[in-house]
Structure 1
Amino acid sequence: MRKTIAMVLVAALGVTGCGAHVSEGDSGAVPAGYPVTVTNCGAPLTVRRPPSRVVTNDIGITELMFALGLDDRMAGYVVDQGQSGGIASSPWKGDFAKVRKLAEKINREVVQGAGADLVFAGWNYGFSEGTGFTPDTLRQLGIASYQLTEACRNGVGKQRGIMPPLDALYTDLRNLGKIFGVSDRAEQLVKQYSAQVAAVEGAVAAGRQRPKVFLYDDGRDQPFTAARNAGPDEIIGKAGGTNIFADLDDSWTTVSWEAVVQRAPDVILINDYGGEVGTVADKENFLRSRPGLRDIPAVKQGRFFALPYAALVEGPRNASAVQSFGAYLAGLSR
Structure 2
Amino acid sequence: MPHPVRRAALALVLALAVTGCGARVPPEGKGDGERASGGHYPVTVENCGEKRTFERAPRRVVTNDVGITEIMFALGLEDHMAGYVMPDDKGDLTAVPWKDGYRKTAWLSKQRITRELVLDARADLVFAGWNYGFDEGEGFTPAALRRLGVDSYVLSESCRNGRGKARGVMAPLDALYTDLRNLGKVFDVEERAETLVASFRARVAAAQAKAPKGADRPRVFLYDSGEDKPFTAGAFAGPHDIITRAGGDHIMKDLRDSWTAVGWETVVARDPEVIVINDYGDVSAEQKRAFLRSYEPLANVSAVREDRIVVLDYVDLVESPRNPAAVDSLAARLRAFGS
Per-residue deviation, 1:204: 2.5
**Matched positions, count:** 317
8 A Cα contact 1:127 1:135, kept in partner: yes
- Within a 5 Å distance, the mapping from 1:44-193 to structure 2 comes to 44-83=51-90, 85-103=91-109, 104-193=111-200
- Within a 5 Å distance, the mapping from 1:195-234 to structure 2 comes to 195-234=202-241
Q: Residue 184 and residue 206 in structure 1: after superposition, are their counterparts in 2 closer, same or farther (change >3 A)?
A: same
DSSP 3-state at the match of 1:287: helix
Q: Residue 270 and residue 9 in structure 1: after superposition, are their counterparts in 2 closer, same or farther (change >3 A)?
A: farther
Q: Which runs of 4+ in 1 moved over 3 A?
A: 8-21, 205-208
Per-residue deviation, 1:91: 2.3
Q: Residue 110 and residue 75 in structure 1: after superposition, are their counterparts in 2 closer, same or farther (change >3 A)?
A: same
TM-score by length of 2: 0.89
Q: Residue 14 and residue 132 in structure 1: after superposition, are their counterparts in 2 closer, same or farther (change >3 A)?
A: farther
What corresponds to 1:24 in structure 2?
none
TM-score by length of 1: 0.90
CA RMSD of aligned residues (A): 2.0
Residue 286 (str. 1) matches residue 291 (str. 2): yes
What corresponds to 2:3 in structure 1?
none
* Distance across 1 between alignment mates of 2:23 and 2:227: 45
8 A Cα contact 1:193 1:319, kept in partner: yes
Per-residue deviation, 1:87: 2.4
Structure 2 counterpart of 1:79, one-letter code:
M
Structure 1 counterpart of 2:168, one-letter code:
G
What corresponds to 2:268 in structure 1?
261
8 A Cα contact 2:24 2:54, kept in partner: no
8 A Cα contact 2:23 2:55, kept in partner: no
What corresponds to 1:311 in structure 2?
316
Per-residue deviation, 1:180: 0.1
Per-residue deviation, 1:288: 0.7
Give unmatched runs, 5+ long, in structure 2. 1-14, 29-35
8 A Cα contact 2:243 2:327, kept in partner: yes
What corresponds to 2:8 in structure 1?
none
Per-residue deviation, 1:43: 0.2
What corresponds to 1:39 in structure 2?
46
* Distance across 2 between alignment mates of 1:12 and 1:82: 37
* Distance across 2 between alignment mates of 1:305 and 1:16: 42
Structure 2 counterpart of 1:287, one-letter code:
L
